[in-house]
Amino acid sequence: MTISECSNLVCWPTEELRCLDSLRLLYIMNCNNLEGKTSSAKEETLPLSLEALTISSCCSVVALPSNLGNLTKLKGLNVSWCNALKALPDGLCGLTSLRESQIWGCPTLKKLPQGLLERLSALKRVSIIDCPDLERRCREGGEYFHLVSPVPLKEIHH
């Protein structure tokens, strides 16, 4: 499913996605008013069947859904060009199927949550581009370097 250029989308479309319990791919792109906040964390629920999630060019997003760590079937996570995103949610250690992660163009994202750090060595591909603080932490001498170095395919640069 692709949701694109939807200016009416401000919060995660959890109510609309609730009945899509076999949804495997979700792409949310160019939704400039999407902030990603809801009044209750319980409402931030993505279908547990998701295998790939892309959130791209949503410049107002400040938070990803809080249940992201419950997506045990998620193999690919792509977050790109979300300039207002300051942090990924905690609890990402539940992403036991995650094999590929791309984080591009998120300049205010300063660190990775502990749960994702724990998963890094199991990934097959990591790509971090145009995220200065994350790049610095992942390069040789950075606090995440020992976690990223075993990843077979990695692309980390500005």
Share of the chain above pLDDT 90, in %: 56
Q: Is the pLDDT of residue 56 over 80?
A: yes
Name the architecture of domain 2-157: Alpha-Beta Horseshoe (3.80)
pLDDT bucket at 76, cuts 50 / 70 / 90: very high
Q: What is the pLDDT of residues 128-138, one digit of tens each?
A: 999 999 999 99
Share of the chain above pLDDT 70, in %: 94
- Residue 28, token pair as written in the block: 């949310």
Q: Is the pLDDT of residue 42 over 60?
A: no
Ranges assigned E (strand) in 1-65: 2-4, 25-29, 52-56
Please report, to the nearest 10 degrees, the dihedral formed by the alpha carbons of residues 73, 34, 129, 94 taken in order: -20
Q: Is the pLDDT of residue 44 over 70?
A: no
pLDDT bucket at 38, cuts 50 / 70 / 90: low
Q: What is the pLDDT of residue 67?
A: 84
Q: What is the pLDDT of residue 43?
A: 55
φ and ψ at 17, to 5 degrees? Answer: -90, -15
Q: What is the pLDDT of residue 17?
A: 82
Mean pLDDT of 99-118: 91
pLDDT bucket at 12, cuts 50 / 70 / 90: confident
Q: Is the pLDDT of residue 29 over 80?
A: yes
Q: What percentage of the chain's residues is helix, strand, coil (to nearest 5)?
A: 20, 20, 55
Report which of residues 39 and 93 the model is more confident about: 93
Q: What is the pLDDT of residue 129?
A: 95
